[in-house]
């Protein structure tokens, strides 16, 4: 079984020794993950919005029908 007491003791000692570096490292990791999540979320939302508004964006809300065959298509 893992001796958690020893692990916490070593972590506490290391934090006292290099606390500022550890805080900067953890904050950099957290900031990077937050940026990755934000960019991915923005991309997904943009893609969904484009799919939802495709009809208006493409101008596909008008349907034209012909009654005769066009002469240049014969």
Lowest mean pLDDT among 8-17, 36-45, 48-57, 62-71: 62-71
54 or 13: which carries more pLDDT confidence? 13
CA distance linking residue 62 with residue 51, whole number of Å: 18
Q: Taking a C-beta distance cutoff of 8 angstroms, is the pair 41, 48 a contact? A: no
**What is residue 69's predicted lDDT score, i.e. its pLDDT?**
80
Percent of the chain exceeding pLDDT 90 equals 30
**What is residue 29's predicted lDDT score, i.e. its pLDDT?**
95
**What is residue 61's predicted lDDT score, i.e. its pLDDT?**
65
pLDDT category at 14 given cuts 50, 70, 90 is confident
């Amino acid at each position: 079984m893992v001796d958690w007491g020893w692990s916490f003791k070593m972590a506490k000692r290391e934090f006292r020794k290099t606390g500022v570096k550890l805080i900067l490292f953890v904050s950099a990791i957290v900031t990077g993950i937050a940026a990755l999540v934000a960019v991915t979320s923005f991309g997904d939302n943009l893609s969904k919005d484009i799919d939802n508004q495709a009809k208006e964006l493409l101008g596909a809300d008008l349907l034209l029908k012909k009654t005769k065959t066009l002469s240049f298509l014969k």
